[in-house]
Amino acid sequence: MPLRAAMPEYIESGNLAVLELALDKYYMEWAARRLKGRGVNQRLSRRFLGTQIDTINLLTCFRLLNADLGDQDALRFFLPGGTHVSEQLFRDLSSMSDVDEVYDRLKRTPYGRPVEDVAIKYIESGSISVFERALEDYLMRRAFAAGRGDPLGVGIIISYLWMKANEVTNLRIIVKGISVGMPVERMREELIVV
């Protein structure tokens, strides 16, 4: 089990990210092993899995901006297999000290635009969560786009499953918002609309 190996480190540090990383690595390795073929469906699935991995790696980089790693190497948080975020890019991003540097480095990737779109929100709020939200939204849009090709291909399934997950996420946002008395406009801002 992926958590069994990570449990001693978690118990020692109390850092939940250790367990999250173990689960992410396990899932990505499991999925990559199953996508070995050369067909169109396998290529599309590998490309989407690579986008998922890139998104997780970028979210990790944003979180590392505020983390004090001490002697730890940031590369231990890297998930291999992404399409645009290489080990070198991850190393560069995780060693940067502020969001402007990260944005400048990401401009030349497909993730530059989503990050740029929320830069003003980040300046206003000072919260890294705006970047997390933008990257999650980008991933959702990529999943939706996967279904626009072959009507009999795996893209339609990827799109359907991610749209269902999006629907559940939005329902949770609405239920939580109602339960805590969140204003309707704020709930609308939180929803992921594709």
- Could you read off the pLDDT of 87-122 as tens digits, one per residue? 999 998 888 878 888 888 898 899 999 988 888 888
Spatial distance between the Cα atoms of 113 and 89, rounded to a whole number of angstroms: 17
Spatial distance between the Cα atoms of 177 and 134, rounded to a whole number of angstroms: 20
96/155: higher pLDDT:
155
Torsions phi, psi for 111 (to 5 deg): -90, -5
What DSSP string runs through 13-42? H--HHHHHHHHHHHHHHHHHHT----SHHH
What is the pLDDT of the chain when averaged over all its residues?
88
Spatial distance between the Cα atoms of 58 and 3, rounded to a whole number of angstroms: 23
Q: What's the rounded mean pLDDT across residues 38-65?
A: 91
pTM of the full structure: 0.84
The string of pLDDT tens digits covering residues 1-30 is: 778 888 888 888 887 888 888 999 999 999
